[in-house]
Amino acid sequence: MPRTLYDKLWDAHVVLNDTSGRTLLYVDRHLLHEVSTPQSFEMLRQEGLAVRRPDTQLAVADHSVPTHDRGQPIEDPRAAAQVSLLEKNCEDFGIEYLSLTGDDQGIVHVISPEQGFTLPGVTLVCGDSHSSTHGAFGALAFGIGASECGIVMGTQTLWQTRAKSMRVTFDGVVQRGVSAKDMALALIGRIGAAGAVGHAIEFAGDAVRALSMEGRMTLCNMAIEAGSRTGLVAPDETTFAYVQRRPRAPKGAMSDAALAYWRTLPSDAGARFDHEIRINAAAIAPQVTFGTSPDQVLSIDQIVPADTTAGRALDYMGVQAGTPIAGLAIDHAFIGSCTNGRIEDLRAAAAIARGKQVAPGVRALVVPGSGAVKRQAESEGLDQIFLAAGFEWRDPGCSLCVAMNGDRLPNGARCASTSNRNFEGRQGAGARTHLMSPAMVAAAAITGRIMDIRTMPA
């Protein structure tokens, strides 16, 4: 019987099935960060357990770390304690920790692929909902809670229930100025924030095949905003070319064996999906959210709807039903996060910012997703483009995507953001977030208003 990519990944990791339909699933990779693991380690201590396979674990601090003055002591004592607790826990349990001041630090979902820790065909989990990112490699990756982090460390397994399958096919070629972020937001707008609950999404179609690994990661990253813990893209030559030059990827004969296996992973012809969605990629315009859920999203040329269910959201956001979303004045801009903090994102933003100035009254931040992204951007001179335009150029971390590191917006501030959630208070209590692509954020920062990147003067 023809199988989907998800079926193949699942079947390859079944330790056993119980009589109630649950599967004890083997976990190949576990990423740790400082926020979701203190209680997991505490659980291991209480149970008197060691980490079963330390070699399958990799830790880094990203959520609560300052994005300036790296190398200086962390100012906020609670953040400092949280980061040093992660260091101590990793030392006590023999887990590799990528130091805050080392070259390899960055956001978990950016550094793991860079390191070749993320591989096609693996199961990968992390106490972070954006773990769906790694599905871009054809890995079965999903976010878990802190208790589950402890269970994974202690047993290398998790009880899971097989998800239903959903294939989202993006046909055609996207317009100039339209990115993976716009594809993701267009999908979420169509199916809703709970549209894929209980499903594993496989992204397919010409417009997905044409995406770089960075773009595929952006797409899979946002699967959780449609309610799906898992987004997948079948591995292909683009994937293999990315993976093979990574330090932790298999080498030599091992690489050949792995590659032979990875080539068997794509969904079989005739594989059946529980749901099929087709989207004409060529018809997607740049997307902007107007409310406080990622499915409250518009094409840049649309007007804010008078939807009664969004009433509270419109009040919170300070936007008027019946007015165009384009032209809304912003006072902050954020480029970064596990969604859009990779080199391609910074290139897209820098291409808009080159030779321009951030609008008066707008504060604009660029936070690279990792040390490697930062160095690459600097070697290409992108940092100089941003600095000359009046953007701040920061050190890697989650920063204004989750606003728990000191980068936080004041009450009422309106921000054009490349991050993944426009939830109430996400960037600071009372702050208003409009999600969009890196190029769209750069354009908003330059003009001081949300605008259509396709009409940006050169």
Site for other proteins in 106-165 (CB under 8 A): 119, 121-122, 127-129, 143-148, 150-151, 154-157, 159, 161
First to last CA, the chain: 54
Count other C-beta atoms under 10 Å from residue 75's C-beta.
11
Q: Does 390 bind other proteins (CB under 8 A)?
A: no
| Closest approach of other proteins to the CB of residue 393, in Å | 24
Helix/strand/coil percent split, the chain, to 5: 40, 20, 45
Determine which residue in the list 8, 32, 56, 174 makes contact with other proteins, applying CB under 8 A.
Answer: 56
Determine which residue in the list 238, 244, 255, 302 makes contact with other proteins, applying CB under 8 A.
Answer: 255
Count other C-beta atoms under 10 Å from residue 300's C-beta.
22
| C-alpha span between 228 and 190 (Å, rounded) | 14
Which lies closer to other proteins via its Cβ, residue 145 or residue 327?
145
Q: Does 258 bind other proteins (CB under 8 A)?
A: yes
| Closest approach of other proteins to the CB of residue 254, in Å | 4
Cβ atoms of 84 and 64 within 8 Å: the answer is no
Stretch near other proteins under the rule CB under 8 A, chosen from 45-53, 236-244, 326-334, 446-454: 45-53
Sign of CA dihedral 308, 309, 315, 318: negative
Q: Does 81 bind other proteins (CB under 8 A)?
A: yes
| C-alpha span between 70 and 375 (Å, rounded) | 14
| C-alpha span between 141 and 109 (Å, rounded) | 11
| Closest approach of other proteins to the CB of residue 155, in Å | 5
Q: Does 412 bind other proteins (CB under 8 A)?
A: no
Judged by CB under 8 A, the chain residues 278 through 297 that form the site for other proteins are: 293
Tokens representing residue 26 in the block: 């083997």
| C-alpha span between 187 and 226 (Å, rounded) | 8
| Closest approach of other proteins to the CB of residue 272, in Å | 22
Q: Does 36 bind other proteins (CB under 8 A)?
A: yes
Determine which residue in the list 4, 60, 62, 82 makes contact with other proteins, applying CB under 8 A.
Answer: 82
Cβ atoms of 404 and 338 within 8 Å: the answer is no
Which lies closer to other proteins via its Cβ, residue 374 or residue 432?
432
Q: Does 423 bind other proteins (CB under 8 A)?
A: yes
Q: Does 303 bind other proteins (CB under 8 A)?
A: no
Q: Please report where in the chains the tokens 């940092």 appear, as a residue.
A: 383
| Closest approach of other proteins to the CB of residue 107, in Å | 14
Strands 392-393, 363-366: pairing kind: parallel
CA distances from 309 to 186, 291, 306 (A): 19, 11, 9
| Closest approach of other proteins to the CB of residue 198, in Å | 7
Stretch near other proteins under the rule CB under 8 A, chosen from 165-173, 209-217, 252-260, 327-335: 252-260
Q: How many residues bind other proteins (CB under 8 A)?
A: 78
What is the SS3 assignment for 169? strand
Q: Does 380 bind other proteins (CB under 8 A)?
A: no
CB-neighbour burial class of residue 370 (10 A; exposed 0-12, middle 13-18, buried 19+):
buried
| Closest approach of other proteins to the CB of residue 403, in Å | 6
- One character per residue 428-457, x = contact with other proteins (rule: CB under 8 A): -x----------------------------
Stretch near other proteins under the rule CB under 8 A, chosen from 48-56, 236-244, 268-276, 279-287: 48-56
- One character per residue 1-30, x = contact with other proteins (rule: CB under 8 A): --------------xx-xxxxx-x-x-x--
Tokens representing residue 380 in the block: 């290409």
338: closest CA among 369, 381, 383, 299? Answer: 369
Sign of CA dihedral 369, 372, 375, 377: negative
Stretch near other proteins under the rule CB under 8 A, chosen from 177-185, 191-199, 233-241, 362-370: 191-199
